[in-house]
Structure 1
Amino acid sequence: MLKYLLASASWMGFLCLIAGLSPVQALPSLEIADKNVAVNQEDGSYQKNDSHQSDLANNISSESLIANESPKKLSSVNQQQKIQDIGVDSAVNLWQPIIPQSASSSSTSYKLAQVTSVSQLSDVQPTDWAFQALQSLVERYGCIAGYPNQTYRGNRAITRYEFAAGLNACLDRINELIATATGDLVKKEDLATLQKLQEQFAAELATLRGRVDAVEARTAELEANQFSTTTKLNGEVIIAGVGASGGAPNNSGSNIILVNRVRLNLTTSFTGKDSLITGLQGYNFLGGADGQGSLQQSLGLTSRLLSASSARTSFEPQFPGINVNTLLGVGANSVQVYKLLYIFPVANKLTLFGGTAAETSDAFPAITPFYGEGQESISRFGGLNPVVRISGGTSGTGLASAAGFIFNISPNLDLRALYGNPNANLTQKSATEAVPGTGVSTTPLGAGLFSGSSVIATQLTFKPSPAFDIGLNYAHSYHEINILGTGLISGDIDALAGVATGTPVTLNSVGGTVTWRLSPKIALSGYGAALFVDAASNNVNASTTFTSWMAGVHFRDLFKSGNTAGILFGQPLYRTDTGGSAQLTPTGDNRATPYHLEAYYRLQVSDNISITPGAFVLFNPEGNSNNDTTTVGVLRTTFTF
């Protein structure tokens, strides 16, 4: 397998070389200058406007949601925060929307570079005649009346260029007075002083005006060529080689595969404070109703329906190749709407959101720094607490219609909650069974906004100190069929082992995630989760408890600025207790505690290209010691624009 991965690495390196030589230059990711969204930081922190993503994880802040995925973008919703990175993943962490600045901001921005007070600057001394002459002009004609402190006094020196900026402001003001027929207000001695100042600072004034002209020309060019005055476009392309060994005994084995995922995200603002997020995607992962063609199926580790497995990578959808709402097939690389969400503030500390294609991870900040489908952890296990993934909460396809709120209690504490339903657009549940005798309908998740499968989820996020980020999660779910909806293990299907797949279940799930930054470049992070599953049918008495945990260390700027790495270890979801007719160990399995060990290193080749080699090892995969130790190797290349 190693030689094939090396061959893939060479191929990906050649691809990056082509990208670097291409005459087409991608625009750099837009920074969130408007401070309207919050992101998960690269080190996993949840804090105000610093810089990082999600998969549109990374995540809504108090005045705008956002999306899983790219690390330096959009992921949380708060007008004073970055939506991160998201989470988009955001890339594209779609959930890091950028609200366009007002039209007036570009035309006046150069004025902000002018000095606001002589006391702030240096070079021209307060005792110089020029300093005192300009100060007198400023006070007499109000040259800086529009500045915050409305003064131009001070006792410190300023640079000649900064002095020229103030002089230029006075020239403009006096020209304005003369042009408006109030020239008699300008004294002749002041005009003489201005002429003398102009002569002495001619070089600096010429340079300053040249810079302003260049900025105005560049602004005009950007306005003429921008995608839209109200909409920002960003995207993410992931191309990866994946190989695996091990799996179930006597499995057919897995070839090296080459997969892709492409996302385009449009973020529109109508008021400057709201965000309408529209995401399109295409991918070539296979799976379908029976997992056919998936890596997990070739290893013999997948569930018998929908290809759930612990061998899944971070960037593949939970239900590849199928529309789980109707069990209809989805063609490879067909374009789908995977995100449609509107976020709007209704009060200083309260933001509402709603949409027909959303995920739990869009609303909840990812506390762990390992989250980032296109940038960080290479496995589905490493990115998020399982409680966030429950009920298809991170399906990768915008499975649910959802609505909720974000209450920014304080700068270090906020509360978020949502209600989601995957089949809100269906009027009736189909009476046709997908597989005769199973009780599973061809609309397995039910129908209607307030009936069928649904989830109510909440997260309390707080920072007790600058070094700590903590998230506490609770989710209550009802499922029309016997399924967890996490996509993390094969036991996701038939969660109540020994109970019919068509049996409805209720779940109460709790979890917590903590990140502790030992230094700006090193962070410890981990999570714990417990899922309590009960049969929701009067004819069945059964219950099961699943637990999971993870701990790891994350590195920033490792060996080179911009590069990151992670090492993590933990226990995937595992049945620890059962009651009633539910089985603790499914028939044919040899019960054993499963473990997951992972390491990856992300090389930031350029602002828009990163390459992540990594691997994860599964011990006792799917909690069954009959399965061989399984190794999955990944070489992921991510392009963002």
Structure 2
Amino acid sequence: MMSKYLLASASGMGFLCLIAGLSPVQALPSLEIADENVAVNQNDGSYQKNDFNQSNLAKNISSKLLIANENQKKFSSVKQQQNNQDLGVDSAVTYKQPVIPQSINSSPSSDKLAQVTSVSQLSDVQPTDWAFQALQSLVERYGCIAGYPNQTYRGNRAMTRYEFAAGLNACLERINELIATATGDLVKKEDLAALQKLQEQFAAELSTLRGRVDAVEARTAELEVNQFSTTTKLNGEVIIAGVGATGGAPNDSDPNIILVNRVRLNLTTSFTGKDSLITGLQAYNFLGGADGQGSLQQSLGLASPLLSSSSARTSFEPQFPGLNVNTLSSVGANSVQLYKLLYIFPVANKLTLFAGTAAETSDAFPAITPFYGEGQESISRFAGLNPVLRVSGGTSGTGLASAAGFIYSISPNLDLRALYGSVNANLPQKSADEVLPGVSTTPLGGGLFSGSSVVAAQLTFKPSPDLDIGLNYANSYHEINILGTGLISGDVGALAGVEAGTPVKLNSFGGTVTWRLSPKIALSGYGAALFVDAASNSVNASTTFTSWMAGVHFRDLFKSGNTAGILFGQPLFRSDTGGSAQLTPTGENRATPYHLEAYYRLQVSDNISITPGAFVLFNPEGNSNNETTTVGVLRTTFTF
């Protein structure tokens, strides 16, 4: 720094503090210290303020120099800048070859100083001296050091005020040279004239830009004042779809084409930057109610007589449309509901917890399959998720369960997730009123731990960048005889031939795999087995349901952003029964059901997509008496 090396002179490297106590100056020029902080030019070309305040030396120097005669001859190369301008100087520069005036205590004429070109010429300067590097730089880089004729420097000798003044004068001369060299051609008169001319020529454009900038600043200020929230983000999805179908149960006429909608608004709030509070509002115009009246599935004759469960259901349709299943009360079309309320927060590096009163297993468990996306991908409820995830209303579309659980990241390629969910956690006790034998107006029971509930877990791992695998298990208890998936009409009355009010226990196992053959093509499929047993001591019955699906998913098909899917599989089907449970319900002709689906999503813009598609049901609901059924969908999705 300059404050370190400015002290070097022909008589040695001294400290300014030695000057403060010397005798008064008799013939020194007036020198004002403009600023204690001198601007120093760094090696990288930048400028910064240098603290020139070692033991207040600058103040002491200024006070002693100002008592000198104002009329003495000023240093020829030092001109103080008006307005106290800072001086740019290389951190290693002091001064060059000085002419030292004869001081009061000067050495004899034989001690006159002589210029040296290398520090090695000074016999009394050794590489071990603390100032050796500074002297070497001043001699060899700047030629600012003079030695005595006997090749000595006498670095430990105190310097006089005359020697300091001469050295300072030479140093400032060097500073002026550096400034002149750096800024002499910086701005020319011709350049200023050209700039002024350009300003005049583009005055209108500059005025327009100034106005636009002012308008942007005003709008920005307004947005800041009226912004929704600094911690909450709003996003939404609007689905409008036309749905038509043919086939269904014998002797039933084809239903009319219907136009349906579903609107969701999601508020995501973060308080720490790592947590998320998700609040979701929903409205839809699907109909159904407790007996399925008004639903497309009921018109086809493929819905269960209670709760309208069916294999003909679309992906974006709630499991219990038009019904609050907790109390069997009706829900009006397009009435606003709270379908999501979930808080997710990390508690450790690898552990995240979540809890909420309106949640679904799909909120915590990765879907694995690329066909999942109620508003963007597959058009059927069958294709989107493994049936094990849907058990006990796990993906009801209305956030049916109150749930709590954890996500534990075992490694970057392996994590374990689990939850406990209760459907009627907000009801203190089960209603005594009955709508069917053993079925009350609160058919799923009451209480956090005494009603219908589910414990579910998923192990997700990624053995390679192109392979995703998810393994699922769910243990469920239901107050009534249902699966709670909404996937087939046999969901209600899972133990065929057993009373609807019989409680059941379910052990469900499933696996989902996705293999990306290339960035644009993926193979995906799942398999599931649901084991249902009567949970009543008075009933001995059991049934096994199985299901599988396989398909091909395409990305950027024909155009970037477009996706498509072709898939085939078997919906849930009774593969085995035990005890008093029937394998084939009365009046049905048992046959294995199959599902074939194809869809193509066109990404019209960043916020709009259109998905035409259709799925075909062979032996719908496992009954060959039913006609092959085709459901066509034209879905338009708006996101914001």
TM-score normalised to structure 1 length: 0.69
Q: 1:138 to 1:413 in 2, by over 3 A?
A: farther
Report the number of matched residues. 466
1:432 aligned residue? 433
Q: Measure the CA separation in 2 of the matches of 1:428 and 1:196.
A: 91
Residues 1:246 and 2:154 are matched in the alignment:
no
Structure 1: 5+ residue stretches without partners? 1-132, 143-180
2:636 aligned residue? 637
1:237 aligned residue? 238
Quick check: 2:526–2:548 contact (8 Å CA) kept in 1?
yes
1:487 aligned residue? 486
**What's the CA shift for 1:274?**
1.1
Residues 1:389 and 2:373 are matched in the alignment:
no
* Bigger shift: residues 457-466 or 219-228: 219-228
Q: 2:45 aligns with which of 121, 125, 137?
A: 137
1:503 aligned residue? 502
**What's the CA shift for 1:228?**
0.9
**What's the CA shift for 1:594?**
0.1
Residues 1:447 and 2:450 are matched in the alignment:
no
1:82 aligned residue? none
Structure 2: 5+ residue stretches without partners? 1-40, 51-82, 90-174, 200-205
**What's the CA shift for 1:225?**
4.9
Residues 1:608 and 2:607 are matched in the alignment:
yes
In the TM superposition, what are the counterparts of 1:200-599 in structure 2 within 5 Å?
223-435=224-436, 438-599=437-598
Q: Secondary structure at the match of 1:228?
A: coil
Per-residue CA distance 1:295-342 (angstroms, 9 max, x = gap): 000000000100000000000000000000000000000000000011
Quick check: 2:482–2:492 contact (8 Å CA) kept in 1?
yes
Q: Secondary structure at the match of 1:387?
A: helix
Q: 1:137 to 1:609 in 2, by over 3 A?
A: same
Q: Measure the CA separation in 1 of the matches of 2:483 and 2:570.
A: 17
**What's the CA shift for 1:217?**
8.3
Q: Which amino acid aligns with 2:259?
A: L
Q: Measure the CA separation in 2 of the matches of 1:506 and 1:191.
A: 89
Per-residue CA distance 1:110-164 (angstroms, 9 max, x = gap): xxxxxxxxxxxxxxxxxxxxxxx9862359789xxxxxxxxxxxxxxxxxxxxxx
In the TM superposition, what are the counterparts of 1:41-190 in structure 2 within 5 Å?
136-138=44-46, 187=89
Superposed CA RMSD in Å reads: 2.9
Q: Which amino acid aligns with 1:289?
A: A
2:133 aligned residue? none
**What's the CA shift for 1:402?**
0.3
Q: Measure the CA separation in 2 of the matches of 1:578 and 1:414.
A: 35
Q: Measure the CA separation in 1 of the matches of 2:356 and 2:335.
A: 22
Quick check: 2:42–2:48 contact (8 Å CA) kept in 1?
no
Q: 1:443 to 1:215 in 2, by over 3 A?
A: same
Q: Which amino acid aligns with 1:480?
A: E
Q: Secondary structure at the match of 1:446?
A: coil
Q: Measure the CA separation in 1 of the matches of 2:243 and 2:387.
A: 23
Q: Secondary structure at the match of 2:434?
A: coil
Q: 1:350 to 1:612 in 2, by over 3 A?
A: same
**What's the CA shift for 1:459?**
0.5
Q: 1:313 to 1:212 in 2, by over 3 A?
A: same
Q: 1:141 to 1:581 in 2, by over 3 A?
A: farther
1:19 aligned residue? none
Q: Measure the CA separation in 1 of the matches of 2:449 and 2:84.
A: 70
Q: 1:139 to 1:356 in 2, by over 3 A?
A: same
Q: Which amino acid aligns with 2:267?
A: L
TM-score normalised to structure 2 length: 0.69
Q: Measure the CA separation in 1 of the matches of 2:184 and 2:219.
A: 32
Q: 1:223 to 1:442 in 2, by over 3 A?
A: same
2:617 aligned residue? 618
Q: 1:342 to 1:139 in 2, by over 3 A?
A: same
**What's the CA shift for 1:408?**
1.1
* Bigger shift: residues 238-247 or 223-232: 223-232
**What's the CA shift for 1:231?**
0.5
Q: Secondary structure at the match of 1:137?
A: coil
Quick check: 2:47–2:88 contact (8 Å CA) kept in 1?
no
**What's the CA shift for 1:196?**
8.1
**What's the CA shift for 1:226?**
3.2
Q: Measure the CA separation in 2 of the matches of 1:351 and 1:395.
A: 24
Q: Measure the CA separation in 1 of the matches of 2:181 and 2:382.
A: 72
**What's the CA shift for 1:412?**
1.1
Q: Measure the CA separation in 2 of the matches of 1:215 and 1:408.
A: 45
Per-residue CA distance 1:388-412 (angstroms, 9 max, x = gap): 0000000000100000001111111
**What's the CA shift for 1:223?**
3.4
Q: Measure the CA separation in 2 of the matches of 1:442 and 1:488.
A: 23
Q: Measure the CA separation in 1 of the matches of 2:555 and 2:421.
A: 35
Q: Which amino acid aligns with 2:269?
A: T
Q: Measure the CA separation in 2 of the matches of 1:284 and 1:192.
A: 81
Per-residue CA distance 1:230-277 (angstroms, 9 max, x = gap): 110000000000000000001143100000000000011111111111
Q: Secondary structure at the match of 1:390?
A: helix
Q: 1:213 to 1:303 in 2, by over 3 A?
A: same
Q: Measure the CA separation in 2 of the matches of 1:277 and 1:554.
A: 30
Q: Measure the CA separation in 1 of the matches of 2:216 and 2:225.
A: 14
Per-residue CA distance 1:513-568 (angstroms, 9 max, x = gap): 00000000000000000000000000000000000000000000000000000000
Quick check: 2:498–2:581 contact (8 Å CA) kept in 1?
yes
Per-residue CA distance 1:334-390 (angstroms, 9 max, x = gap): 000000011111011111110100011111011000000000000000000000000
Q: 1:431 to 1:271 in 2, by over 3 A?
A: same
Q: Which amino acid aligns with 1:379?
A: S
Q: Measure the CA separation in 2 of the matches of 1:564 and 1:352.
A: 33
Q: Which amino acid aligns with 2:261?
A: N
Q: 1:228 to 1:578 in 2, by over 3 A?
A: same
2:99 aligned residue? none
Q: Secondary structure at the match of 2:464?
A: coil
Per-residue CA distance 1:89-121 (angstroms, 9 max, x = gap): xxxxxxxxxxxxxxxxxxxxxxxxxxxxxxxxx
Q: Measure the CA separation in 2 of the matches of 1:220 and 1:197.
A: 43
Q: Which amino acid aligns with 2:426?
A: N
Quick check: 2:267–2:278 contact (8 Å CA) kept in 1?
yes
Structure scoring higher RCO (CA < 8 A, sep ≥ 6) equals 1
Q: 1:501 to 1:224 in 2, by over 3 A?
A: same
Quick check: 2:497–2:580 contact (8 Å CA) kept in 1?
yes
Quick check: 2:403–2:420 contact (8 Å CA) kept in 1?
yes
Q: Measure the CA separation in 1 of the matches of 2:525 and 2:250.
A: 32
Q: 1:304 to 1:271 in 2, by over 3 A?
A: same
Q: Secondary structure at the match of 2:611?
A: strand
Q: Measure the CA separation in 1 of the matches of 2:533 and 2:84.
A: 83
Q: 1:609 to 1:197 in 2, by over 3 A?
A: farther
**What's the CA shift for 1:445?**
0.3
**What's the CA shift for 1:197?**
11
